[in-house]
Structure 1
Amino acid sequence: MKKTLIKNVHVLTVNQTDEQFFGFAAFADGKIETLGPAEKTPAEKEFDEVIDGREGYLLPGMIDVHSHLGLYEDSLGFEGADGNEDTDPVTPHLRAIDGVNPMDRSFRETIEAGVTTVAVSPGSANPIGGQIAAIKTAGRRLDDMVLRAPLAIKFALGENPKSVYHEKDETPVTRMATAALIREQLYKAREYLARKDRAEGDPDEDAPDFDIKLEALVPLLRGEIDAHFHAHRADDIFTALRIAREFGLKPVIVHGTEAHLVADLLAGENVPVISGPYLTDRSKPELRALTERSPLLLHQAGIETAITVDHPELPLRLLPMAAQIAVKAGLSADAALRAVTAAPALIAGLGARIGSLAPGMDADAVLMDGHPMRFESRVSVVWIDGAQQYRRDE
């Protein structure tokens, strides 16, 4: 793979010390090879490609750790809607990777906005929706794009499961039943895992019959993957944490529309929040506390916060704008940039590969002609794994 040098550029590393400097970055073999100040820029003859940054800004590729990209295709109705299998409220065995169409044109728009990694999740019709996958946004075959699958199991609390199954006159139609269905399946999975473990250690013990639903929850119960809980209302957030404690799960709160109202209580739980979408309307009662100040208030409470636009609720190409709106609402530019780079990477357990600019990390980077938190700034070039995926035609 060719070597690339980006020179004459403001480098925003978004690393642990939030290092920023004017200088260069070099990519080789799909990884970041080196970064440094302008006076240490290497000789251009060492590189196959040299980009003059024209005093623009180089930042990590942006990340949305909650989306339905490719599961709900652009400009299509039922034919392109593959996010909710709303014929069964308990579907942990469903895999997002089996429904994503990487040829959907939203992928191209996502890249052009500077978003290089997304977590694709089943929808929130079911209390247990299925397996989330983290993928890069460039590619034609999903298998070549996957970073981690499964990344997490999707759970949903609140109005969505209630409304879907109320229309069918089926369980669950209450918050109690939603939580009960989740608990029931986790209890079964825990016993299934215990029997598997006993059979592995004792040849006289019979292993349980294979159950694809329970098998899908084994990595969750072993702590190998997280539990992403769709929860808007504060009481639903605490139900998610209650269930997580009961079964030793590692929870992540998705949306958390009322999380800012209980930020002081959440701060002691050490649970991250994927905040948003907050640029949408209050389309249902549980969104009545919706505010673009949520990332600010959660950040002030010391909660690890990522920003989401919940594609296709809002198109993923608007993720930079969502961060910019958070700045307008009072969040610092550095914190807002972190909320769409390093924070979602850490929440996904992928902080060693993506979300920051540092030697050895994936060469996912975006060159912009101005600071990324300024509305008028435009994406000039996007790299994913060191390969140039977009270059704006002047």
Structure 2
Amino acid sequence: MLAIINGRVITMTGKEYEKGTILTDGQKIAKVGSNISIPEGAEVIDAAGKIVMPGLIDAHCHVGILEEVYRQEGNDVNESTEPVTPHLRAIDGINPEDLGFQDALEGGVTTVVTGPGSGNVIGGENLAMKTFGRVVDEMVIKNPIGLKVAFGENPKRVYGSQSKMPMTRMATAALFREALVKAENYMAKMERQRQKTEEAFFERDLKMEVLCKVLKREIPIRAHAHRADDIMTAIRIAEEFNLKIIIEHCTEGYKVADQLAKRGIPAVVGPFLTNRSKVELKDRTLANPYFLAKAGVKIAFMTDHPVIPINYLALSAALAVREGLDEQEAMKALTVNAAQILGLQDRIGTLEPGKDADIIILNGPLFELKTRVEKVIVAGKIINLDSK
């Protein structure tokens, strides 16, 4: 059992304890509060003068699947040979020894969503995982957690240069619709077989099986979309097929914030520390999170690592605070709101009994530039930030 005592405990449930105590039992949080007795034999961390809060969540990155040091050897992010690849699984491409996981821990990030990039119309399944571990299968929190789809420039750039579909935004939307209709037909055929109205043999199709999960609303589509018109195309198709949807990047979300808000569609925003590397970023603004949150859109943050190093996740949120986003909303976007968007609120995002013991200890306020993450606990295990 581990006891963290005397720190300012920010639970992200609305409760804070100036001199609080957290008890963990194995991988879970057992107790949180003040005036909690410490069991005999417990390992004690005295966090006096420190801030204790939930581990941060990077809701969109490519850690482990797009490695920094190894260029082609470590680049498994885009299968740029076919535009529709829903059957790709992130878990088969992640290297848990990628240095990005070390960076994540140093930045207080204990959970990430990682997976395929945006080169394909349908890129494949992504997953949520812890940032510490030896084997990916043991680090996974939920797999799959969504299906990556992409709108806008990237699929056009990848396949247009090959003189293949999609060369236009219309073709991107058409390919996605076509795949969904095929999946609807596949589901109908499965149902006929179940009712014994078709032959007994039924040939499996891995692509269709994944798309069936989307059509059944078992997992959301996680739609890469920067420009406002691309955001609306993603929404249009989601409504046409009754899909769960999360908008990723949402760079021009402020232009259609009311459209997102009235539909209850969340956004994972970022990355913020880049230049205008493509035309879709022409109208970007660091005030985008402020306008989205003001309109009532639930937001989370991303680094898109390695586009932005994952240890700069909190800095990205701090820049949004500088541009008007309420500080508490920014903290929620890194913790509890991110967990809710991912559907993982029963495990992560707050410090409560029964939740995963993912905890960080800071030597100052999260958004203060000089603040350092001094200790990280992942699933109840104290991580040595010097050696990991």
Do the two structures share a fold, i.e. TM-score over 0.5? yes
SS of alignment partner, residue 256 of structure 2? helix
Deviations along 1:262-320, one digit per CA (max 9) or x if unpaired, are 11222101100001112211111111111111111111111000011111110111101
Corresponding position of 1:21: 17
1:206-355 mapped onto 2 (5 Å cutoff)? 206=200, 208-355=202-349
1:31 correspondence with 2:28: yes
RMSD (Å), alpha carbons: 1.4
- Normalised to the residue count of structure 2, the TM-score between the two structures is 0.97
Q: Tell whether the 8 Å contact from 1:186 to 1:217 is kept in structure 2 after alignment.
A: yes
Q: Distance in 1 between matches of 2:87 and 2:361?
A: 39
Residue range with higher mean Cα deviation, 205-214 or 285-294: 205-214
* Superimposed CA distance per residue, residues 129-152 of structure 1 (whole angstroms, 9 cap, x where no aligned partner): 000111111111101111111111
Specify whether residues 54 and 366 from structure 1 end up closer, same or farther in structure 2 by C-alpha distance, changes over 3 A only.
same
Structure 1 residue 164 displacement after superposition: 0.8
The answer for unaligned runs of 5 or more in structure 2 is none
| Residues in 2 aligned to 1:90 and 1:392: alpha-carbon distance in whole angstroms | 42
Q: Identity across aligned pairs (percent)?
A: 44
The amino acid of 2:36's aligned partner reads T
Equivalent-residue separation in structure 1 for 2:104 and 2:41 (angstroms): 28
Is the CA contact (8 Å cut-off) linking 2:358 and 2:377 kept in structure 1? yes
- Distance in 1, matches of 2:201 and 2:145, equals 27
Q: Is the 8 A contact 2:105 2:131 kept in 1?
A: yes
The 5 A counterparts of 1:39-118 are: 40-43=35-38, 45-118=39-112
TM-score, structure 1 normalization: 0.95
SS in 2 for 1:51: strand
User: Structure 1 residues 208 and 180, CA, compared in 2 at 3 Å: closer, same or farther?
Assistant: farther
Instruction: Give runs of ≥4 in structure 1 deviating > 2 Å.
Output: 45-48, 201-208, 390-393
Deviation, structure 1 residue 201:
2.8
Q: Deviations over 1:13-46 (max 9, x none)?
A: 112xx22221111111211111112xx1313x53
**How far apart, in 2, do the equivalents of 1:108 and 1:234 lie?**
35
Q: What residue in structure 1 maps to residue 7 of structure 2?
A: 9
Closer/same/farther in 2, CA of residues 224 and 47 from structure 1, 3 Å limit? farther
How far apart are 1:204 and its partner, in Å? 4.7
* Alignment partners' CA distance in 2, 1:264 and 1:218: 30
C-alpha separation in 1, matches of 2:231 and 2:63? 24
- Report the residue type matching 2:252 in the other structure: E
Alpha-carbon separation, structure 1, partners of 2:344 and 2:129 = 11
Unaligned runs of 5+ in 1: none
Letter in structure 1 aligned against 2:140 = V
Deviations 1:161-213 (A, max 9, x none): 01111111111010000000000000001110121122123365556421111
Equivalences, count: 386
Please show how residues 158-237 of structure 1 align to structure 2 within 5 Å: 158-202=152-196, 204=198, 206=200, 208-237=202-231
The answer to whether the Cα contact below 8 Å between 1:304 and 1:343 also exists between their aligned partners in 2 is: yes
d(CA) in 1 for partners of 2:134, 2:104: 14
